[in-house]
Amino acid sequence: MTTETATSHRAPTLEMVAALAGVSRSTVSRVVNDSPRVTEDVIRSVNAAIEQLGYVPNRAARSLASRRTHTIALVIPENTAKFFADPYFASVIQGAAMFLASTDYTLTLLIASEANPEKTRRYLLGGNVDGALVLSHHSDDRSYAQLARNLPVVFGGRPMIETGSDHYIVDVDNVCAAQSATRYLIDHGRTRIATIAGPQDMSAGLDRSEGWRRALLAAGLSTDLHEVGDFTPPGGEQAMRRLLDRGEPIDAVFVASAQMASGALTVLRARGISVPGQVAITTMDNDYYAQNSTPQLTTIDQPMGTQGALIAEVLVRLINGEQVDKLTIIPTSLIERDSV
């Protein structure tokens, strides 16, 4: 290989940018690092040289100078199979990634096995990231909440921590949303309303159960028809079978996720029970399962892409030392379809 060819394949350097722009190396460094001590004319000249050469700043060097990695971790404390099967995660990740695309931050995805959460914690606290976003938090591992003592952390969904704890959370009002979905069934004349609740070691599972319970008690109706699933279609199937096998009258079900509702529909069809003729259904999540079930499901729409963007925005502001609210609530809405 000739010297000319070798040189032509070299990555552009700070010195090459400085020479082309006719300024010093330190001036280029100040422009790259957004220093205010540079005139607009110089910034234009340096940026034109950067564009012409295709120069990319050395992130490692910038990190040493700023003590930042410009990397944010998005932590999913779930197993891989559940992660890929649940459209919730894809929507939240897309929202976070789209927000961060306009910043200097890179998003790193960590699917954290509950079998070895310590490995994930070591990575997060080892100077590899500037902050973390945590989704789908369970009560059997509160260590992600403890991370916030040493690292900026924002939770997508209320973590299972003590009331009044000093954490940053972006969530929907799951109690209110479940109340609305259950009240909709009551308003349509249903009186024997069951629920297929989410996992009771997750705040979303507990809060949606509580919303269902409050709506029924306010209407003077029984709260005895309660079964628990795991936010998956098979979990919805199993819980629906248990409800029907009780042999008690049921004319409606509030299901805590659209995935579980699709599983419940499978069981109702198999047993010859019409929806909504004999049993009406409302649920949460306006996702593929809600939109493609037969019949399509009346559901609570919680904008998951918006949640992803908001948790990313709150974290970036925290990292930058800005004042942000501890709790950000995302509005929800009821979408009426054919299951009631």
Task: Tell me what pLDDT residue 32 has.
Answer: 79
Task: Tell me what pLDDT residue 85 has.
Answer: 78
DSSP 8-state symbol, 139: T
Task: Tell me what pLDDT residue 58 has.
Answer: 60
Task: Report d(CA 50, CA 15) in Å as an integer.
Answer: 11
Q: What is the dihedral of CA 138, 139, 140, 141, to 10 degrees?
A: 70
Q: Which two tokens stand for residue 327?
A: 């709790």
Nearest to 178 by CA among 216, 135, 138, 139: 216
- Helix H or strand E segment including 236: helix 233-245
Q: Give me the mean pLDDT over the 190-204 stretch.
A: 94
Q: How confident is the model at residue 78 (pLDDT cuts 50, 70, 90)?
A: confident
Task: Report d(CA 261, CA 284) in Å as an integer.
Answer: 9
Task: Report d(CA 304, CA 129) in Å as an integer.
Answer: 24
Task: Tell me what pLDDT residue 6 has.
Answer: 36
Q: Is the pLDDT of residue 68 over 80?
A: no
Higher pLDDT, 238 or 90: 238
Q: Which residue has the tokens 């949640």?
A: 307
Phi, psi of 313 (to 5 degrees): -65, -45
Q: Which two tokens stand for residue 113?
A: 């096995």
Q: How many whole angstroms from its chain centre is CA 33?
A: 31
Q: Is the pLDDT of residue 310 over 80?
A: yes
Q: Is 252:279 a contact under the CB 8 Å cutoff? A: yes
Q: Could you tell me where in the chain the CATH 3.40.50.2300 domains are found? A: 71-172+304-332, 174-302
Q: E-strand spans in the chain?
A: 71-76, 106-111, 131-135, 153-156, 168-172, 193-197, 226-228, 252-255, 280-284, 298-301, 327-330, 333-335
Task: Report d(CA 252, CA 192) in Å as an integer.
Answer: 6
Of 119-123, 177-181, 196-200, 293-297, the one with minimum mean pLDDT is 119-123
Domain 71-172+304-332 has CATH 3.40.50.2300: yes
Rounded to 10°, the helix 25-32/14-21 angle is 110
Q: Which residue has the tokens 């990740």?
A: 93
Q: Is the pLDDT of residue 3 over 50?
A: no
Q: Is the pLDDT of residue 113 over 90?
A: no
Q: What proportion of the chain, given as a percentage, has pLDDT over 90?
A: 59
Instruction: Pick one of 1.20.120.1200, 3.40.50.920, 3.30.70.560, 1.10.260.40 as the CATH number of 12-57.
Output: 1.10.260.40
Q: Give me the mean pLDDT over the 239-243 stretch.
A: 98
Q: Is 143 exposed, middle or buried (0-12, 13-18, 19+ CB in 10 A)?
A: exposed
Task: Tell me what pLDDT residue 124 has.
Answer: 84
Q: How confident is the model at residue 319 (pLDDT cuts 50, 70, 90)?
A: very high
| CATH no. for 174-302 | 3.40.50.2300
Q: How confident is the model at residue 64 (pLDDT cuts 50, 70, 90)?
A: very low
Average pLDDT over the chain, rounded to whole?
87
Please list, in sequence order, all residues whose beta carbon lies within 8 angstroms of the beta carbon of residue 10, skipping any fewer than 6 positions away. none
Q: Could you tell me where in the chain the CATH 1.10.260.40 domains are found? A: 12-57
Q: How confident is the model at residue 8 (pLDDT cuts 50, 70, 90)?
A: very low
Task: Tell me what pLDDT residue 138 has.
Answer: 65
Task: Report d(CA 208, CA 181) in Å as an integer.
Answer: 10
Q: Is the pLDDT of residue 166 over 90?
A: no
Please list, in sequence order, all residues whose beta carbon lies within 8 angstroms of the beta carbon of residue 13, skipping any fewer than 6 positions away. 55
**pTM of the entire structure?**
0.77
Task: Report d(CA 234, CA 133) in Å as an integer.
Answer: 28
Q: Is the pLDDT of residue 7 over 50?
A: no
Q: What is the CA radius of gyration of the chain?
A: 26
Helices (H), 67-199: 80-85, 87-100, 117-124, 143-146, 174-187
Task: Report d(CA 287, CA 297) in Å as an integer.
Answer: 10
